[in-house]
Chains A and B, each alone.
Chain A
Amino acid sequence: MKKVAIPLFATLAAIGVAYSIHLIFFVTPLQYGLNEDGKLNGSSLFFNQKLFYFHTAHAMLMLIAAMMAGAASIAYLKTRDPKWDDAASAVTDVAVVFGGIALLSGSIWAEAAWDVWWKWEARLTMTLLLWLLLVGYVLVRRFAGPSADRITAGMAIFGMISALFVYKMAGQDSHPAAGADGVVATLGPGMRGPFWLCVVAVLTWYIALVLVRLQSTRAERELRELRERGLDLGVLQ
């Protein structure tokens, strides 16, 4: 089952992403920014709204991954079982990539829709800080030495709380709102299906990447243990 899991999820992700792209560009309607009187406003979304689907899906997965890393780190600190540490590390690495995609695609979209690359607003700034925290996790993991596991566990718990703040801050600024009255909840019928299909495809892709990264993390742990044995035996210096 383990050998089948990664190819299976990767194949499902590829099919899902390909079909999502087809739906996004050939089926979903264009979204026009309208004023209350029904007239077009100056910062209409038009074609650049096509970035919404993958941008939002990656942002959602980044927040979910940050919370999963925090939960795994709590489990590790409680049980000291290495598998939780490996899981937190794998999930955080993927969260960094997905967060980078969300931030970069969002920045490009902002330049098209708002004519600015970045706005120092609460939600965007908080998302950037969360992403930098996750990058810090990866760096500490790489360079901090023997106690890196506990330091990064604490960072991941902090990241989990930050992720909740990022979600709650939606709608406080020009970035669209989240929640029951938010953009996703009020999507039109032509957009809702493709959006959720896109989210499922990106989730499948996320699972495939986490499984691959988990393999690498366990291999790194095995390598460390072999090196320690080699040092003890005098085979390595």
Chain B
Amino acid sequence: MTRVIAASAPRTVLIVLAVAAFAASFLVPGAAFAQAPPAGTEEARKACTAAMNADPAFAASIVKIADEQAAAQRDRDTVKAHVDANHHIQKNQRHVIYGYAAMWVIAAGFVIFLWRRQLGLKLEIANLRRDLEAAGEPPSKGRT
């Protein structure tokens, strides 16, 4: 039994080592794929920088794409700011018009109320004085 175990020990060790290496490839990320692209951002940046340094045409195309995307984003931000400002300006103008219109309506309404009240009072006072004079009462001094 001991001789059998001793004869099969190297093979066993090899099998155990192979299984351990296979298992470790799942535990250590990327360890099993020596030629795959890097997973992290920093690694990607380094790889891209290296590629751009190696190929000027590639570098120029990358820079051009980045500039176009940044310009498009700035345009979108500018348009949004202009749309917001336009909305604010229109709202402001509307509210100023509403505010002044409300002031004028109230003021005009009060003036019309005063005018009608004054006319009604004058008429009523004149009628009462006439009735009192007709009843023989001496006319009072008018204040209106």
Residues of A within 8 A of B (CB): 44, 46-48, 50-51, 54-55, 58, 97, 100-101, 104-105, 108-109, 111-112, 205, 209, 212-213, 215-216, 218-220, 222-223, 225-227, 229-230, 233-236
Decide yes or no: A226 and B106 within 8 Å by CB, A51-B95, A235-B132 being known contacts.
no
Main secondary structure of the interface of B (DSSP, over half): helix
> How many B residues have CB within 8 A of the partner chain?
33
Residues of chain A within 8 A (CB-CB) of B93 are: 47
Decide yes or no: A109 and B99 within 8 Å by CB, A212-B114, A222-B143, A227-B128 being known contacts.
yes
B95 contacts A97, C-beta separation under 8 Å: no
CA A46 – CA B96 in complex, angstroms?
11
Partner of A226, one of B95, B100, B107, B140: B140
Partner of B106, one of A51, A104, A218: A104
Decide yes or no: A108 and B102 within 8 Å by CB, A97-B110, A218-B144 being known contacts.
yes
29 contacting pairs across A/B (C-beta < 8 A): A44-B88, A46-B88, A46-B92, A47-B93, A48-B92, A55-B99, A58-B103, A97-B107, A104-B106, A109-B95, A112-B95, A112-B96, A209-B114, A212-B114, A215-B144, A216-B118, A218-B144, A220-B121, A222-B140, A222-B142, A222-B144, A226-B132, A226-B140, A229-B137, A229-B140, A230-B135, A234-B135, A235-B131, A236-B128
